[in-house]
Amino acid sequence: MGPWLLLLFIVGDILGTGIYALTGQVANDVGGVVWLPFLVAFTVALITAFSYLELVTKYPQAAGAALYTHKAFGIQFLTFMVTFAVMCSGITSAATASRAFAANFAEAFEIDLNAGIGITLLGIAFMLIVAAVNFRGVGESVRINVVLTCIELSGLLIIIFIGMWALGIGDGDFSRAMTFDTGDRSALGGVIAATTLAFYAMVGFEDSVNMAEEAKDPSRIFPKVLLAGLLFTGLIYVLVSVTAIALVPADELGEGDTPLLKVVQAGAPGFPIGIFAFITMFAVANTALINMLMASRLLYGMSRQHVLPPQLGRVHRTRRTPYIAIGFTTFLALGLITFVGEVPQLGGTTALLLLCVFTIVNVAVLVLRKNPVEHKHFRAPTALPVVGALACGFLATPFTDRNPDQYAIAGVLLAIGVVLWGVNHVVNTKLGVKGELHPEYLTDDDPSTPHGPSN
């Protein structure tokens, strides 16, 4: 991969459900300054990206946070929990995308669904389709990702162009973008609470470290490309959020799960809403599929390392896909769609899980400074990992006024992981099998693996 393909991969990984589905919910917390939480979330993500850059250029392997945790602390259970948390973040993200897909589908095609029940049923049906595609086996090359990224990006550019048109002809109220409405919270408290949700829109950059082994001269080009990708997506998000609030008041923008459809309807009534709805659904559908592929792949890998029950590592005879792992992760996603339902809680839980992982990664950078390597690599200013660890750790705490339901959801998911780990440990002890998680399994080139090394 050269720098341009890598840039498109990174941008495509960050773009997705967050900005399409959660802009209105962020507006509920802060009012007109909906762009500010996205900017704060971008800053925190950028600081953490410096830590990832040091680690990925120091250890250019495809295992990400699991590898860095393993090298820094050497505690198998901690490495497992970090890996399982990343997997769970994929499941909650996919469930978020499923709900957003259902809401946009119903709104765009004017289908009168029975309140939350209809959205839930449609979300479940969508997730079952994703599971079927996952079971069949999906191999996405980087060039296909370029096409997906262009389609996802086109929807956001349409919003920005509508905002520019509205500004040019005098429509819209851009002064709203400077007004706070944080309810009972202080202005700072409202921004912090909204940032915990807006952070979901910035995640995805951490997945790009898995492409380090595919990039040409990663130690040289990776830092520039990753930072450029983050800056580009951050700018897009700020412009989209400013346009959204200028064309749709905060209280209206915060109603329902289709905020950007409302922006198109308000700013360009003649624009075919079905086309934009298709782009939106494509973006969130791609988010769901990629995350469910990742979640089932990680579960399969952990089982293959004898860290989870071996049944989860079974591969279908003809499709060569990990059907038990696919079924298990789909079951968890269906449970989230059915019993949690609310997009903000699912998206917030995704951000919560990854903020915990990012805190550990920022600490791992400092720990691994005592282990030099022979080749040259990027080195982050020492203050940045410290600030990143403190910022990510703080945003994961209850002091941010995060909805308690998000802790409950994350706790249940991680508890399932602990139970699986415990059961497997007992079984392995009786059988005399040593179960150790080696994150390097993610770079396995064994052609018998279900999706192959590029997935």
Residue 191 CA to residue 380 CA, distance in Å, equals 27
Worst-scoring range by mean pLDDT, 140-144, 162-166, 185-189? 140-144
Amino acid sitting at position 167: L
For residue range 418-444, list pLDDT tens digits in order. Answer: 998 888 888 778 777 666 666 554 444
* pLDDT, tens only, 90-110: 899 888 888 888 887 887 677
pTM of the model: 0.85
Q: What is the mean pLDDT of residues 208-235?
A: 79
User: What would the pLDDT profile of 287-316 be if each residue is shown by its tens digit?
Assistant: 788 788 878 877 887 777 777 787 888 888
For residues 139 and 178, the model is more confident at 178
DSSP character at residue 89: H
Closest CA to 250 of 76, 3, 63, 31: 31
Separation CA 214–CA 210 (nearest Å) = 8
Looking at residue 429, its amino acid is: T
Domain boundaries, the chain: 3-443
What confidence tens digit (pLDDT) does each residue in 63-72 have?
678 888 888 9
Segment 33-47, tens digit of pLDDT: 999 999 999 999 999
What helix, strand, coil percent values describe the chain, rounded to 5?
75, 0, 25
Options 1.10.287.470, 1.20.1740.10, 1.10.3720.10, 3.40.50.2300; CATH for 3-443 is: 1.20.1740.10
Q: What is the pLDDT of residue 409?
A: 92
Q: What rounded mean pLDDT belongs to the chain?
A: 83
